[in-house]
Amino acid sequence: MKKVLIDCDPGIDDALALALAAGSQDALDVVGVTTVGGNVDLPLTTANALALREFLDLGDVPVTPGSAGALLRHTVRADHVHGATGLGGVVLPAPERGVSEGHAVDFIVDSLRAAPGEITLVAVGPLTNLALAVRKEPRVVEWARDLVIMGGSYTRGNHNPAAEFNMLADPEAAAIVFEAGWTVKMMGLDVTLSAVVTSSVLDRMWPLGRLADLLVPAAQSYKPVTADDGPAIHDACAVAYVLDPSLFTCVPAVVNVETAGLYTRGMTVTDFEVGDRRANALVATSLDVKRFWDLVMAAYERLAARLG
Ligand code: BDR
Ligand code: CA
């Protein structure tokens, strides 16, 4: 059983990543969900996390809100992708329970301190909370079992030609995290763009009972689904990596986050020619798409059976 702490900004694909974790209770122990302003403002990402905790039957997993905005930059949002609420066309029942006391940064530091070497951090939003945790308590780097992020790319951007959204939204935070001393497992656009909900994947989601009320409108509103194409559920790749790293080919690299560029801010400049330097990242370069969907759909089917 792997312990994971999920830092997120739900976010349609964040929701589908949480659903993957919720359907993987045999393999994952979700010790906490922390939220960050990202796709939409913090009050919305937090409200969505609370609604998802109950809808996905995540039990009493604490949901703790964190940073509302980037360390230095003006706010960048992705509500043009995720809709005004952050969950596109998904409407979930209002949650009955609220957030936990305290701030996400303290929750992250305290959780890692209490269980050194046990908890894998899974970060699928801007890296503001993680950067602040590193600054507040640098030993989080040694206490974390692993750090897996959805973010960056060595080939392209999505918010603009150079930068992936999570990196662009808080480049200074991303730079702090990449420079902190751990080996970041980087699930970037290079692989996540192949995790596409095609129409045939969507067909497998329709019969999933109550869970389909989340999955289907999520996929449909994330981006219109065409015959052979559909939305990429980026964030689920980070959870999938924790569940089965063999789904991905990963290559050691030195990754630097551009914070000064006029047109390249947030770019993850990735050097696979590591030489004598320490590789600060293991960068995913390919994904076994069939096995990815087998893993994801098996988890969704288990969760659907539980939810009814
Ligand atoms: C990332 O940006 C967000 O919009 C998604 O939730 C995902 O984390 C993809 O670039
Ligand atoms: Ca996200």
Distance CA 129, CA 38 (A): 11
| Domain 2-307, CATH among 3.40.50.300, 3.90.245.10, 3.40.50.2000, 3.90.1150.10 | 3.90.245.10
Q: Which amino acid is at 21?
A: A
Q: Is the pLDDT assigned to residue 13 strictly greater than 60? A: yes
Residue 225 has what pLDDT? Answer: 54
| First-to-final CA distance of the chain | 25
Per-residue pLDDT reduced to its tens digit, 117-171? 999 999 999 999 999 999 999 999 999 999 999 999 999 999 999 999 999 999 9
| Tens-place pLDDT, residues 183-228 | 999 999 999 999 999 999 999 999 999 999 999 999 999 865 554 5
- Ligand 1 atom at minimal distance to the Cα of residue 10: 6
Q: What percent of the chain has pLDDT over 90?
A: 95
Residue 35's pLDDT is 98
pLDDT of residue 229: 80
Task: Write the CA distances from 228 to 198, 205, 224, integer angstroms.
Answer: 6, 16, 11
Active site residues: 234
| Interacting residues of 228 by C-beta distance below 8 A, sequence separation 6+ | 198, 199
Extents of the domains making up the chain: 2-307
Give the number of the atom of ligand 1 that is nearest the alpha carbon of residue 12. Answer: 6
Does 164 contact ligand 1 (Cβ within 6 A)?
yes
Predicted pLDDT at 174:
98
Average pLDDT across the chain, whole number: 96
Q: 276 CA distance to ligand 1 centroid (A)?
A: 33
Which of 166, 190, 221 to probe ligand 1 with, by most ligand atoms within 8 A of CB?
Answer: 166
> Which single residue is written with the structure tokens 């992020």?
149
pLDDT at residue 126, rounded to an integer: 98
pLDDT by residue (tens digit) across 69-112? 999 999 999 998 999 999 999 999 999 999 999 999 999 999 99
Q: Which residues contact 190 (CB under 8 A, 6 or more apart)?
A: 153, 154, 155, 156, 283, 284, 285
